[in-house]
Amino acid sequence: MTLLTDATTLVTRGLYYQGKYGTWDLFWKGAHDMTFGAGTTPMDPSRVYTDFHVHIHRTTDPRRMLREAAKRVDIVAITGRTEDFADNHHTLDTFLESCNDHTVEIEKLGENVAVAEVDRKTLYLIRATEIYPTEIIGVVSVGGKLQRRYERHGEGTLHDTISDARDHTAFWFIDHPFSIASPVIAFRYPTEDEVKRRIEIFRRYDAMIETNNHQNTWWMYLSNEIATAVAQEHGLVGIGNSDSHFRLRDIGLTRTSFPRTMLDTSTEEKFLASLQTAFSQQQHIETGFASDWAFAHYMVIAGKIPAYQRVAVRYNL
C-alpha cells in the first residue's frame, strides 16, 4: 500500500510540481549530473567555501577525508546524528580520535572547531548534528553541542530540538525540507497540504532551509526547486550542502560560499560568531546532484546492506 500510494504521489505531484516550481536549468543540470557526475569551478581565494552537512563513516581513513574535503571547501562539518547512528557515523570528537590513532596532525581551535593544514591549505572542521524529531523534519545544528540527549531517530519534538539548537549552537537549518522520507522509494514529494504546513513551521521559527541538497537527485531534484521557490517567496535564508553519506568524493560538490573578509579565525568564539553573521543572510550556492552511481551505491544499496556500506567506503566507490 505504501509503495502504491508513494508511487502515485510521485507521479502526480511530480508533474504538478514540475509545472509549478520546475525550471529547465535545474532539470538539465540534474540530468547531466545524474549521468556524468557533478563538478565544481576552481575556488576563488577571496571566498570561503563551506559544506555543513557531511556524514563520515567510522572506518574512513581520516587523511583521505581531509585531502578530499580540502579540494573543494575551506570549512567542512562532521555531522553526527542520534545515538542509534553512532556505530557508523563519526562525530567531530570521534573523527579527532581517529586522526590521533592515524597520527594525522590536527589542532583544536576549541571544543567545536578543529584546524588542519592539508596540501598547503587550511581546512576547518566543525561540529554539526542532525536530529529528526517526531515530526520527521530534520534539524542540522552547526558549531556547538546540543544539550539534550538524542537517543533515537523520530523522538522528541521539533520545538525542543530547535530551542536546543538556538541556545547552544552557532546556527541551524532544516535539511532537505521538502523531501518526505518514505520506506520503499527513499523520498517522495510532499502533498500540497504538507508544503503549506511546512511553510508555516519554517516561518514560525524563521528557519534557514537547505534549498540545495546534493542527494536530492533522481526524481527528488524537484524538492530543491520547491525549497528554493519557498525560500524566495517567504524571505527565508537558503543554504546548499552535499549531505554526503560517507562518499568522500561528494563533499563540496554542492556548497555555499561567502566573502573571506567576513571570517574571523582568531578564536573559536569569533569564528562561530562570524559564521552566524554570514549565514544570517543569503550567501552564494553552487548546486549539483549525486550521480546515479554514487546514489545507487551509497544511498540505496549501502542503506539496505551495512556490510556493503563498509565495502563502498573502503574501496572509495
Taken as a whole, the chain contains a residue count of 317
Phi, psi (deg, nearest 5) at residue 68: -65, -45
20-28, 95-103, 129-137, 250-258 -> range binding Zn ion (CB under 5 A): 129-137
Minimum distance from residue 44 beta carbon to Zn ion (Å): 27
Considering beta carbons, is residue 77 or 285 the nearer one to Zn ion? 77
* Residues in binding contact with Zn ion, number by CB under 5 A: 2
Rounded CA separation 38/105 (Å): 30
Query: Do 225 and 43 form a contact (C-beta atoms < 8 A)?
Result: no
Q: Binder to Zn ion among 33, 51, 68, 130 (CB under 5 A)?
A: 130
Considering beta carbons, is residue 13 or 247 the nearer one to Zn ion? 247
Residue with the closest Cβ to Zn ion? 130
For 27, 96, 162, the CA distances from 147, given in Å and listed in that order, are 41, 20, 12
**C-alpha cell, 201:** 513551521
Considering beta carbons, is residue 62 or 80 the nearer one to Zn ion? 80
Considering beta carbons, is residue 54 or 109 the nearer one to Zn ion? 54
Query: Do 176 and 213 form a contact (C-beta atoms < 8 A)?
Result: yes
Considering beta carbons, is residue 22 or 218 the nearer one to Zn ion? 218
Query: Do 258 and 231 form a contact (C-beta atoms < 8 A)?
Result: no
Considering beta carbons, is residue 22 or 138 the nearer one to Zn ion? 138
Minimum distance from residue 79 beta carbon to Zn ion (Å): 6
Considering beta carbons, is residue 130 or 268 the nearer one to Zn ion? 130
Minimum distance from residue 299 beta carbon to Zn ion (Å): 11
Q: Is 74 in the site for Zn ion (CB under 5 A)?
A: no
Residue 113 CB-half CA count within 13 A: 24
Minimum distance from residue 211 beta carbon to Zn ion (Å): 15
Query: Do 92 and 78 form a contact (C-beta atoms < 8 A)?
Result: yes
Query: Do 148 and 160 form a contact (C-beta atoms < 8 A)?
Result: yes
Site track 226-265 with Zn ion (rule: CB under 5 A), x = hit: -----------------x----------------------
Rounded CA separation 283/208 (Å): 12
Look up residue 295 and give its amino acid: F
9-17, 66-74, 90-98, 122-130 -> range binding Zn ion (CB under 5 A): 122-130
Rounded CA separation 246/298 (Å): 7
Minimum distance from residue 259 beta carbon to Zn ion (Å): 27
> To 5 degrees, how large is the angle CA 289–CA 291–CA 295?
100
Considering beta carbons, is residue 13 or 89 the nearer one to Zn ion? 89
Minimum distance from residue 98 beta carbon to Zn ion (Å): 19
**C-alpha cell, 118:** 592539508
Minimum distance from residue 59 beta carbon to Zn ion (Å): 18
Binding site for Zn ion (CB under 5 A): 130, 243
